[in-house]
């Protein structure tokens, strides 16, 4: 209950700050902004206090003091204008939230429940397909940050600074410190962040688009995304064209058999297929392949959407007049009164502070917001019509505060990892379609196939003279161009974290143009048929990808591993170091939060680390423990694990281990043994 009370305190205070500073924002949007701000402060303030008191309950209590100070400052700087009342537009927004965001949140909560350490009857722990790869990394961060000194090290590579954005994971650590189990410490805030993301995108669409139907369609374009990959299951369905691991999607005949293969196979979904060389399908569904397994992305989206909202709301680009004026209409008819556009410093200051907290939630979101802001800044200055200096002043407040808050994080973590590492910042044209200088698919066909009909709608919409669409594109395509030419991380796939922010805006452009086209077909008897066919083309792939995750079930930890993890949790020091093999599923790190000498290259290589030396040391020690005792001292090892992975991947002199070290744990089946290293 203490954890829930702590969360409610931050959510309430965040809402109070927004209501004090932004009374002229619509009521529903204010509530959403306040909840997002409260969650951001709950991630950021305890981590800030952890530099003095470790990531402990003491740091969390100190964070309440900082929260009280922020509430006091917001009250002192409050906007004394009368707040906007709950209006008809708020009612429309609530209806959309009810029919779009709520069902998606229920889906998200169900997937969190089934995909995060779901206990089975035999005592094992199960996950889904999309969380099988990344979840142990996040579990290890969550469980290892308990009472950790700041800045923390990697628990899967001790001695190296944890430069991976960790605030979305430390939020779960907060719940663990206050009594939640690891499973529910991940599920509860994960579902909350999903709810804020679904609701936030709908609210942002309502702010940027004029019609409710357009906003709803934009949300569906974004969340049920997938492209035209579904066509592979209907193409040549009467012929068996492949086998396992080689054109596997078409290895069976008949439409239903291929659908069953998608629902039961390993990454046979037509949105993000395992055989990249065969199909080149790379536009993953954002719900099941991004928000569910990638918690930093989920946390980043929950917090970047409010920043986009505040920036758009401040610029108010929907006006048909120049940005330096406002049009007032009277009951007698249009009466144009030209005044300077007023961008209130409170809103820009709040936006700057909020954006500045983003880097260690999700660095890609911070970068995307900066690129988007650069595009909108250029647009704003080009249309300032003699009001350049006032426009620059508001941008300076936002940009200056964002940089001021972000730079310490960037220098402490991001630049520390990326600067001087040849794996980061490489020229790579056309993202994952580039195979060592040769495009796998034709340039435009790659995007048409992967993004589908919305990509064509985006291109066609920009041919029209529509100021709002072009304004959105001026920010979105700065992101697109940079991500299209520069690979920011060793994993080429990670550039999609930038492309999805581009698509957040462009899905609205596509939806707006689609509704316009549909209206022009009014009176055509085939109009409903055209609409249905387009809906199938837009949503079939995404729906299949979501359906596959709803039925996915994989064992991650056996009952023996769960029991051994309980022993480790109860009988070993909180930050003890274990010697293990480097497979990605290791219960000492994931379930118990203990350090392991070396984690898998599946993560660490793409974070810029070379683990070959540690892996060689691990192999040498297990093969000859007596002759390699210095390795234990080198990595400050406290315990040695012998489990299934070690037996399968290593040559082990087990008798030497038994002769030299005390066996402190052995599983009932004898498949897991833990040896204690003497303190000498």
Instruction: Quick: pLDDT tens for 284-340.
Output: 999 999 999 999 999 999 999 999 999 999 887 654 344 444 444 433 333 333 344
Q: What is the pLDDT of residues 387-444, one digit of tens each?
A: 778 778 889 999 999 999 999 999 998 887 766 566 677 888 888 898 888 899 999 9
pLDDT (0 to 100) of residue 331: 37
Q: Which position has the higher pLDDT, 606 or 119?
A: 119
CA distance 395 to 384: 13
Q: What is the pLDDT of residues 93-128, one digit of tens each?
A: 999 999 999 999 999 999 999 999 999 999 999 999
For residue 411, what is the DSSP state? I
Q: Give how far Cα 92 sits from Cα of 95, 101, 206, Å.
A: 5, 13, 9
SS (H, E, C) 348-408: HHHHHHHHHCCCCCCHHHHHHHHHHHHHHHHHHHHCCCCCHHHHHHHHHHHHHHHHHHHHH
Name residue, tokens 């004026």: 325
Q: Give how far Cα 306 sits from Cα of 350, 352, 358, 369, 587, Å.
A: 11, 12, 11, 11, 37
Q: What are phi and psi of 667, to 5 degrees?
A: -70, 160
Name residue, tokens 């990531």: 55
Q: What is the pLDDT of residues 178-236, one digit of tens each?
A: 999 999 999 999 999 999 999 999 999 999 998 899 999 999 999 999 999 999 999 99
- Of 233, 314, 326, 220, the C-alpha closest to 273 is 233
pLDDT (0 to 100) of residue 321: 42
Tokens of 600: 């898998």
Tokens of 571: 């009988």
Please tell us whether the domain made up of 558-676 is placed in CATH 3.40.50. yes
pLDDT (0 to 100) of residue 383: 78
Tokens of 122: 């035999």
- Of 97, 101, 87, 99, the C-alpha closest to 26 is 87
Report CA dihedral (532, 536, 539, 545) to the nearest 10 degrees. Answer: 150
SS (H, E, C) 44-64: HHHHHHHHHHCCCHHHHHHHH
pTM over 0.85: yes
What would you report as the CA-atom Rg of the chain, rounded to the nearest whole angstrom?
26
């Amino acid at each position: 209950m203490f954890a829930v009370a702590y969360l409610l305190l931050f959510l309430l205070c965040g809402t109070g700050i927004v209501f004090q500073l932004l009374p002229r924002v619509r009521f529903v949007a204010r509530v959403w902004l306040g909840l997002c701000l409260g969650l951001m402060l709950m991630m950021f303030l305890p981590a800030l206090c952890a530099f003095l008191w470790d990531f402990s309950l003491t740091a969390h209590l100190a964070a309440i003091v900082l929260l009280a100070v922020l509430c006091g400052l917001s009250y002192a700087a409050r906007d004394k204008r009368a707040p906007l009342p709950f209006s008809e537009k708020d009612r429309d927004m609530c209806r959309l939230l009810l029919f779009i965001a709520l069902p998606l949140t229920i889906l998200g909560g169900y997937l969190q429940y089934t995909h995060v350490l779901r206990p089975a009857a035999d005592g094992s722990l199960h996950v889904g397909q999309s969380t099988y790869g990344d979840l142990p990394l996040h579990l290890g961060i969550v469980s290892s940050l308990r009472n950790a000194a700041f800045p923390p090290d990697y628990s899967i590579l001790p001695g190296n600074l944890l430069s991976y954005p960790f605030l979305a994971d430390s939020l779960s650590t907060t719940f663990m410190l206050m009594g939640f189990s690891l499973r529910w410490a991940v599920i509860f805030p994960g579902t909350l962040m999903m709810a804020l993301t679904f609701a936030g995108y709908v609210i942002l669409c309502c702010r940027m688009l004029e019609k409710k139907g357009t906003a709803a369609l934009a949300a569906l374009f974004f969340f049920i995304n997938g492209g035209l990959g579904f066509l592979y299951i209907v193409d040549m369905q009467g012929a068996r064209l492949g086998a396992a691991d080689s054109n596997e999607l078409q290895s069976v005949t008949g439409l239903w058999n291929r659908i069953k293969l998608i629902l039961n196979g390993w990454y046979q979904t037509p949105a993000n297929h395992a055989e990249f060389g065969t199909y080149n399908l790379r536009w993953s569904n954002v719900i099941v392949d991004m928000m569910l397994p990638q918690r930093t992305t989920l946390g980043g989206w929950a917090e970047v959407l409010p920043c986009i909202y505040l920036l758009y709301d401040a610029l108010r680009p929907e006006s048909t007049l120049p940005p330096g004026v406002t049009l007032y209409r009277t009951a007698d008819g249009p009466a144009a009164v030209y005044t300077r556009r007023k961008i209130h410093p409170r809103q820009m200051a709040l936006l700057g502070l909020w954006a500045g907290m983003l880097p260690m939630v999700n660095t890609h979101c911070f970068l995307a917001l900066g690129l988007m802001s650069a595009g909108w800044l250029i647009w704003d200055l080009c249309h300032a019509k003699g009001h350049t200096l006032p426009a620059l002043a508001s941008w300076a407040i936002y940009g200056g505060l964002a940089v001021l808050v972000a730079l310490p994080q960037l220098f402490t973590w991001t630049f520390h990892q990326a600067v001087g590492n040849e794996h980061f910042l490489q020229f790579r044209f056309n993202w994952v379609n580039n195979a060592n200088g040769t495009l796998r698919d034709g340039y435009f066909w790659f995007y048409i196939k992967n993004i589908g009909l919305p990509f064509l709608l985006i291109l066609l919409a920009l041919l029209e003279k529509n100021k709002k669409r072009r304004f959105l594109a001026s920010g979105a395509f700065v992101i697109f161009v940079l991500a299209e030419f520069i690979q920011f991380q060793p994993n080429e796939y990670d550039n999609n974290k930038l492309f999805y922010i581009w698509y957040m805006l462009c899905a609205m452009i596509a939806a707006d143009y689609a509704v316009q086209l549909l209206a022009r077909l009014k009176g055509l008897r085939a109009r409903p048929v055209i609409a249905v066919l387009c809906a199938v083309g837009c949503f079939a792939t995404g729906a299949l990808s979501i359906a596959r995750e709803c039925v996915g079930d994989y064992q991650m930890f056996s009952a023996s591993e769960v029991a051994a993890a309980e022993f480790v949790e109860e009988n070993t020091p909180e930050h003890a170091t274990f010697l293990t093999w480097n497979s990605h599923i290791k219960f000492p790190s994931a379930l118990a939060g203990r350090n392991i000498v070396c984690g898998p290259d599946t993560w660490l290589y793409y974070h810029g680390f070379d683990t070959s030396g540690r892996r060689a040391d691990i192999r040498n020690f297990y093969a000859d423990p007596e002759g390699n005792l210095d390795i234990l001292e080198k990595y400050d090892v406290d315990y040695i694990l012998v489990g299934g992975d070690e037996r399968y991947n290593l040559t082990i002199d087990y008798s030497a281990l038994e002769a030299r070290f005390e066996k402190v744990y052995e599983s009932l089946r004898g498949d897991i043994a833990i040896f204690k290293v003497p303190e000498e």
